[in-house]
Amino acid sequence: MSGTIVVGAQWGDEGKGKFVDILSPFFKYVVRYQGGNNAGHTICLEGRTVVLHLIPSGILNPHTICMLGSGVVIDPQVLLGEIEALQASGVDVSPARLWVSPEAHIITTELKQLDLLREQQEKIGTTGRGIGPTYEAKVARRGLRAESIPALKPYLRPEMRRVLFETQEPILFEGAQGTMLDVDHGTYPYVTSSNTIAGGACASTGVGPTRIKEVIGVVKAYTTRVGNGPFPTEQDNQIGALLRERGAEYGATTGRARRCGWLDIHQLRYAQMINGFTSLAILKLDILSGLEAIQVGYRDSVDAPVCGSPVLYKTFPGWQGDIRGAKSFSDLPLNCQQYLNWISDELQCPIGYIGVGPQRYQGFFQHGK
Ligand code: IMP
């Protein structure tokens, strides 16, 4: 088998849900590797919007088998509710199509309460879904695992590792949140409690690193962050408000307004270093259309820390007109092409997919990249 990891390059909410939905027809298996229902993937289907918190967005493709790996934390009520809601809208979520690792840890009511209680003092801006306390219980070796929950029994698949090891079919590993929220490499302590980075996919599913062929970094054409903590290129001003409104930057899980700002090339270089992207998917490019000028943050030294070093800005001329109908790179305005080429050159990484709108059909692959 060959594995492809899809990982958020910024602070989450880059558009991974839409991207995985588009990619999933090319994969037999889609495996979510960490996090829980702190994630929210909004997908626009013909005429309706689906928000998924736990089940990989690959479930919308009828030929894909979706898995929740052992590194995922599961709130059983949320999972069962999501299964029911999907089934009610005609999506097959039978146990043949949704596999849960027996070793995934369970979010209990007490752990959720603990998360909310702690948040009053610690002000991390968590989603309040019990994620941190559940990972804490896991590491402290007193967690509860999916294997002990009778309601999940039909979905439990102890053979998950073997199937992933033996299959000749391609596997997609779907990350949640983003690189800068990684517990080891992110903006600690303002992070989530798992390894969101590409390396987390192997540790959290038991698939060996030699099986991974591609790591795709999903990058939003600007930057957002939800919750507290440093955000060097934040625009707490009219520009930020404009990006928020145009990009509908409100949390899919909590409804909180996302903090918005310019792209940060230094932060992306850091993400490239940690994840080793083989290609990039750049999403929500259409949101920047119509701006007179577009800025990108950088630092005066390659070794400057992402947070806590002064941000300098490079200015690009913007582009006018609607790009949502673009079907190839040459359909994009020249200034837009220049912006993308610069990002690709700076990160020394090809751009394999460009998203120009929320719908499935609004975007295109750049073959061979
Ligand atoms: P927790 O994951 O609920 O513990 O929250 C820790 C931090 O991660 C908070 O700043 C959250 O806002 C952030 N976070 C968690 N999940 C997501 C996500 O899916 N997208 C963006 N930020 C997230």
| CA 54–ligand 1 middle distance (angstroms) | 14
Q: Tell me which residue of 355, 37, 30 sits closest to 174, measured CA to CA.
A: 30
The answer to whether the CB of 181 is under 6 A from ligand 1 is yes
The answer to whether the CB of 132 is under 6 A from ligand 1 is yes
Q: Report the DSSP pairing between strands 312-317 and 223-225.
A: unpaired
Q: Which pLDDT belongs to residue 46?
A: 66
Residue nearest to atom 21 of ligand 1 (CA): 12
Task: Please indicate, yes or no, whether the overall pTM of this predicted structure exceeds 0.75.
Answer: yes
Q: Measured between alpha carbons, how far is 260 from 164 in angstroms, rounded to an integer?
A: 38
The answer to whether the CB of 124 is under 6 A from ligand 1 is yes
Instruction: Give 202's Cβ-side CA count (13 Å radius).
Output: 13
Active site residue 13: yes
Handedness of CA 117, 225, 82, 195 (dihedral sign): negative
User: Which member of 41, 105, 185, 266 is catalytic?
Assistant: 41
Handedness of CA 76, 81, 87, 89 (dihedral sign): negative
Q: CB–CB of 340/351 below 8 Å?
A: yes
Q: Measured between alpha carbons, how far is 43 from 358 in angstroms, rounded to an integer?
A: 8
Residue nearest to atom 16 of ligand 1 (CA): 38
Q: Which pLDDT belongs to residue 100?
A: 98
Q: Which pLDDT belongs to residue 272?
A: 98
Q: Measured between alpha carbons, how far is 254 from 251 in angstroms, rounded to an integer?
A: 5
The answer to whether the CB of 114 is under 6 A from ligand 1 is no
Q: CB–CB of 316/295 below 8 Å?
A: yes
Q: Which two tokens stand for residue 106?
A: 């369970």
- Closest atom of ligand 1 to CA, residue 132: 4
| CA 227–ligand 1 middle distance (angstroms) | 7
- Closest atom of ligand 1 to CA, residue 256: 12
Active site residue 331: no
Q: Tell me which residue of 94, 46, 35 sits closest to 66, measured CA to CA.
A: 94
Q: Which pLDDT belongs to residue 275?
A: 98
Q: Measured between alpha carbons, how far is 286 from 354 in angstroms, rounded to an integer?
A: 10
Residue nearest to atom 1 of ligand 1 (CA): 126
Q: Which pLDDT belongs to residue 88?
A: 87
- Crossing angle for the helix pair 198-205 and 265-275, to the nearest 10 degrees: 30
Q: Measured between alpha carbons, how far is 301 from 266 in angstroms, rounded to an integer?
A: 9
| CA 63–ligand 1 middle distance (angstroms) | 30
The answer to whether the CB of 226 is under 6 A from ligand 1 is yes
The answer to whether the CB of 12 is under 6 A from ligand 1 is yes
User: Strands (DSSP E) along 178-227, which ranges?
Assistant: 212-220, 223-225
Length of the chain: 369
Task: Calculate the alpha carbon distances from 160 to 76, 214, 233, 240 in Å.
Answer: 19, 21, 41, 43
Q: What is the DSSP letter of 324?
A: T
Which residue is listed with tokens 């009219």?
A: 238
Does a cis peptide bond (omega within 30 degrees of 0) precede residue 133? Answer: no
Q: Which pLDDT belongs to residue 45?
A: 66
The tens place of each residue's pLDDT in the chain, 369 residues long, gives 799 999 999 999 999 988 998 999 999 999 999 999 999 887 776 667 778 899 998 898 999 999 999 999 999 999 999 999 898 888 999 999 999 999 999 999 999 999 999 999 999 999 999 999 999 999 999 999 999 999 999 999 999 999 999 999 999 999 999 999 999 999 999 999 999 999 999 999 999 999 999 999 999 999 999 999 999 999 999 999 999 999 999 988 888 999 999 999 999 999 999 999 999 999 999 999 999 999 999 999 999 999 999 999 999 999 999 999 999 999 999 999 999 999 999 999 999 999 999 998 999 999 766
Q: CB–CB of 22/354 below 8 Å?
A: no
Q: Hey, what amino acid is at 26?
A: F
Q: CB–CB of 54/79 below 8 Å?
A: yes
The backbone torsions φ and ψ at residue 167, rounded to the nearest 5 degrees and listed phi first, read -65, 145
Q: Which pLDDT belongs to residue 57?
A: 86
